[in-house]
Structure 1
């Protein structure tokens, strides 16, 4: 998220939202990210999503790392660097989504919302994620968050890329199971015919 902000071509939808909130509150975008993550967990209640270590870590670490990345990575001015940085940031975000959900320590608040809606509605991850991103983007724009071509690229690419990496790393469970639940082992052969 910090790398995409440094690319300067548009924030991803959640950060358009977070930036809009930050502009109205005076908090850093990382602090708003933490607060937003905690509030999104309330939406998990009707979806019957269960938080885990990954969920709690995501709420806290994401905002801290974003603020640290912004402090450590200088602004980039060359378009020849900014475009690849944007592509790298989007790919890295979706790869990380697939990896940490597949570890089954609990998805982050935003990804748990995505997987919870996927499991409850039966709709494809790419559709669910895209709808969430577009909704959050609209709210962020209304609050004054900045957006650009990078925002559109992220909103359109994150759903299909997240679905690809979740499948690649084994993070999409059977619809009857949550993505955090491991399938039951096959029963041992008893020798009876």
Structure 2
């Protein structure tokens, strides 16, 4: 459990930090971050604070879906936003296109690594992932349709609010799944069985 908790917190912090890296790259964000950034143009909150508030509101939507959060779900709401704001405070915007591309690619790969870490810890999904899995479970609808539909709505709304859509949005959509899949076997924690004692 100690390993799982450490992996969870490190993964969530890295996730928030790489979100900030993509923001500073200025070349486009993933759908939810397009929405988060768009909201910051209309409220007196930082990017990380918006991430926390949106995560908490999405978590409330779990109630009618009868989804049960884990410790990782609650940590997701709190840690990622704080990490994003801390990193944004230290990181300047990309001064050249080449630097922006480097920051973007590093951010996307790092985000995939971070996602594999916190998912692999097995302590509960993030609020946004739990939303679509809950809808699928309750309605029996296709995973592809539900997840894609949610992300399209979030992306379009975020863009309308002024969020950044660009190369990074496309790159993230095309590569984040394979990147997480690549790293997940490194971090996936298997539950010990009766015949297989947990490692100390």
Q: TM-score, normalised by structure 1?
A: 0.76
Q: 1:162 Cα shift?
A: 3.5
Q: Indicate how the Cα distance of structure 1 residues 96 and 138 shifts in structure 2: closer, same or farther if over 3 A, else same.
A: same
Structure 2 residue ranges without an equivalent (≥5): 1-18
2:157 aligns with: 139
In structure 1, the residue matched to 2:127 is 109
What does 1:1-193 align with in structure 2 at a 5 Å threshold? 1-116=19-134, 121=140, 129-166=147-184, 169-170=187-188, 185=193
Q: Contact between 1:127 and 1:159, CA under 8 Å: does it hold in 2?
A: no
Distance apart, 1:43 and its partner CA: 2.8
Partners of 1:129 and 1:162 lie apart in 2 by: 17
Note the alpha carbon deviations across 1:30-51, whole angstroms, 9 max, x for none: 1111000001112323444321
Q: 1: CA distance between counterparts of 2:181 and 2:146?
A: 10
* Greater gyration radius: 1
Shift of 1:122: 8.0
Partner of 1:191: none
Alpha-carbon shift at residue 72 of structure 1 (Å): 0.7
- The residue matched to 2:81 in structure 1 has which SS? helix
With over 3 angstroms needed to count, the CA separation of the structure-2 counterparts of 1:170 and 1:118, relative to structure 1, is farther
Take 2:97 and 2:165, find their aligned partners in 1: how far apart are those partners?
16
The Cα shift of 1:26 comes to 2.2
Residue segments in structure 1 that go unaligned for 5+ positions in a row = 172-181, 189-193
Taking structure 1 as reference, are residues 43 and 160 closer, same or farther at Cα in structure 2, changes over 3 Å only? Answer: farther
Would you tell me which structure has more helix in proportion to its own residues?
Answer: 2
Following the alignment from structure 2 to structure 1, what is the Cα–Cα distance between the partners of residues 42 and 167?
Answer: 24
- The 3 A distance-change label for structure 1 pair 115 and 165 is farther
CA root-mean-square deviation: 2.9
